[in-house]
Structure 1
């Protein structure tokens, strides 16, 4: 496919999948249950962190997370006492268990108390910073509080060549603002032009078939390759094509 043909094809798929009907079967429905900015971003972050595996199970367990946080995640996280964390015992999603969940609650409290929240701590500070370095720095801040080593694996580090799919997906949710009703666009200090595609098996396979991604592994080098090619199609909003790549892979078995 020539560049213009490819762009037209993918733009059409973006329109097909980037609409409110998409929310019904996607984990993004969890933060859509909230209206307070901090509730939306915390619900989105926790949901994104457990977003691997069966989508029905992700939605079920993310819902359970919100119930355990009294369906007021920001209030629970900022005001919880040590005894409140006992209520989280027994939670598990694949390798993410109650120890990790309790740690995430403590670390998020640290982020909101000391770094002015998720929007601020994940922001690109200057021209020399990218989301690759911002996510790396965020992981350092997140684990400044006492923690068990096992929990560190649940936040990827793109400077160690991880694709950081789940955090890139969370960033897409918070930053993109195209009025379509799926992504929230509530992080006004961020710019969608800087976002990276959440690269997983589905989007990676489709991108390779469309010659958008030469690299075989799904790592940060692949993310950078895909970003470069998606920016040629739309430099202001390259990550809108995540809808096309994901939809083609999951719903159309492209």
Structure 2
């Protein structure tokens, strides 16, 4: 398939799969419960963090997290006291447990107080980096400035260690990408959509290889860089819109 034909094919699939019908079946439904940008940002970060494994379990545990935060995540982060973190006792999603949850609450509160929130923290990291993937690595260093258990660090991926950083790239897509279809939120203005990387997973990786967008066999940081290059040739301003096409083709339809 020639480049022009491939672009036309994928652009058509974006229109099919990038629509609000996607929301009720995806973890993005949880930040969509909120209208305040601050609530969307905090809930989105937490839901993206636990977004691996069974989708139903992700959504159930995401809703449980919001319940533990009184369905007001931004207000909770700003105002909780240490003793309030006891409510997370017993919370678990796969390997993300109560200790991890408490650490994330403390880290988010520290970022809220010292950096004026997640957007500002990511923007600072991005500006200090050559690209957004390096920025994610710098953000991780900032996130864990607080006292924490070493085990909790695994819940924020590091692209500089060749991780695909799927979940954090997904979160950034949610926050940054301006989406006329109403799926992604596009509430951040300090990072351009052109800098985003596709949240690479089994579905998008397999379809990308079938379409000859990706040669690398592993779904890792090097594969993300290779796919970035290919997708930016198709749309340099909004390359990750093709996440909808590639994921949809992989998850819902055989190519």
* Same fold, TM-score > 0.5, yes or no: yes
Deviation at 1:54, TM superposition (A): 1.1
Partner Cα separation in structure 2 for residue 242 and residue 186 of structure 1: 19
Please list every run of 5 or more consecutive structure 2 residues that lacks an aligned counterpart in the other structure.
none
Q: How does 1:80-229 map to 2 (within 5 A)?
A: 80-123=80-123, 124-125=126-127, 129-229=130-230
C-alpha displacement of 1:129: 2.6
| 1:65 partnered with 2:65 | yes
**What TM-score do the two structures reach when normalised by structure 1?**
0.97
- 1:2 is displaced (CA, Å) by 1.1
Deviations 1:161-201 (A, max 9, x none): 11100000000000000311000000011110110000011
Coordinate RMSD, CA, aligned: 1.0
User: Which residue of 1 is the match for residue 34 of structure 2?
Assistant: 34
Q: How far apart are 1:40 and its partner, in Å?
A: 0.2
Aligned residue for 1:122, secondary structure, equals helix
- Determine the C-alpha separation between the residues in 2 that align with 1:13 and 1:219: 25
- In 1, distance between residues paired with 2:247 and 2:20? 16
2:169 is paired with a residue of what secondary structure?
Answer: helix
Task: Name the residue aligned to 2:52.
Answer: 52
| C-alpha distance in structure 1 between counterparts of 2:131 and 2:230, whole Å | 17
3-state DSSP class of the match of 2:23?
Answer: helix
Q: Distance in 2 between matches of 1:77 and 1:116?
A: 12
Deviating 4+ runs (over 2 angstroms): none
TM-score by length of 2: 0.97
Alignment match, 2:243: 242
Across the two proteins, how many residue pairs are aligned to each other? 253
Counterpart CA distance in 2 for 1:217 and 1:132 is 17
C-alpha displacement of 1:222 = 0.4
Q: CA deviation at 1:135?
A: 0.6
CA distance in 2 between counterparts of 1:7 and 1:55 reads 30
Paired residue for 2:23?
A: 23
- Give 5+ residue unaligned stretches, structure 1: none
